[in-house]
Amino acid sequence: MRKVGIIGLGHVGATLAYTLVMESLVDELVLIDKNEQLAVSEQYDLEDAQVFLTGKTKILIQDYQALKDAAIIVFCAGQISALGEDGDRFKELEITSKIVEETAPKIKQSGFTGIILTITNPCDVIAAYMQKLTGFETSKVFGTGTMLDTARMKQAVSRNLAIDGRNIGGYVYGEHGDSQFVAWSTVTVGDQPLLSWNTELDLESLDEDVRAGGWKAFFGKGYTSYGIATCAARLIRMILNDSKSIVPVSAYSHKLDAYYGQPVVIGKNGVESFVDCSLSEKESGLLTHSIQIIKNGLDKLPFKQ
């Protein structure tokens, strides 16, 4: 049985739940939110939608014990209003870290032994904090990280070259935040390095387009949901299908002792291996800087075993 839990039914959690039901990706879906009436409403709405679908997903709500035999928990609880007008994700940390402190013991008490996927901002710090407070193996706790940022990079390159973004490879590394960077040394179009297609591309301008992409999606409606929920749904599919796919997520590096966005292989066991791309000297420096920002954020939090 394919069973997934979603903790936090805001814009992202609700969109993810809808996606999983519409695509019949799971047999059972457990929905949990601090607002019980919201969970009830989402359950009824999703059940109504299924009358016209070919698949059938059983919806359970507000029951941590129901997570015991789930394969995956997606943690996306938060308070987007704390983000502020400048888009600084670290402004959410005071609130979201406390939600982790409240939630992690409940996850452990439920007997859950699967994989925890975190979306909540600041993504890298929250993934690390969730792992510390649950005590789960680092391979079984990871964040969406720079997966969405990498999609935004592909969109930016696609617009500049007038080529479908699905033909563009490469990765955004580091923090899911302001210190992220495009590792241009990894970016390809088809099987060719990006600059062999166009040697006059302004990479700094493109890099800024990638960062601005999230803000443009956020500014008009005060949140983003479709892109990140699609990333989460794809990761769920990878895990359930043991696909061994390579994607950039916020995973723990034993070498650098930090969670940060980097390409890894995702399968039924979570993060199964790492993809070691050769970064340029400049990129390595940017990565060091980005990791330090993540560590500084984590150092501000109490570690309660």
Asked if residues 57 and 50 have their Cβ atoms less than 8 Å apart, the reply is yes
Question: How many alpha carbons lie under 13 Å from residue 8 in its C-beta half-sphere?
Answer: 24
Contacts of 124 (CB under 8 A, 6+ apart): 143, 145, 175, 176, 177, 250, 258, 259, 260, 261, 294, 297
Q: Which of 132, 176, 211, 234 is catalytic?
A: 176
The pair phi, psi for residue 196, each rounded to 5°, is -75, -20
Q: How many residues does the chain have?
A: 305
176 is catalytic: yes
Contacts of 62 (CB under 8 A, 6+ apart): 31, 32, 33, 36, 39
Contacts of 136 (CB under 8 A, 6+ apart): 116
Say how far apart CA 133 and CA 155 lie, in whole Å. 36
Buried b (16+ CB within 10 A) or exposed e, 267-280: beebbeebeeeebe
The residues annotated with a catalytic role in the active site are: 176
